[in-house]
Amino acid sequence: MATVDPERAARILLAATDALQLQWLLEPDIDMAADLTALYGVLMAALRDHT
């Protein structure tokens, strides 16, 4: 079973949230909260699959 490096996971999460913020600045109509909720769901499912 692969372990999750918390520092790497944090970098990936920050990169994704930064990218969503930039997209929102360019296109304010996107639902950033919904996208972050979807990202959270994907990450939590991935973590559950590895425990």
Q: Read off the tokens for 45.
A: 């499912």
C-alpha span between 28 and 31 (Å, rounded) = 8
**Per-residue pLDDT, 47:** 78
pTM for this model (two decimals): 0.70
Name the residue type at position 24. Answer: W
Residue 4 is classified by DSSP as P
Write down the pLDDT at residue 43. 83
* pLDDT, average across residues 10-38: 93
Q: What angle in degrees, to the nearest 10, is found between the helix axes of 32-49 and 6-26?
A: 160
Residue 2 — very low, low, confident or very high, per pLDDT cuts 50/70/90? Answer: low
Q: Read off the pLDDT band of 29 (50, 70, 90).
A: very high
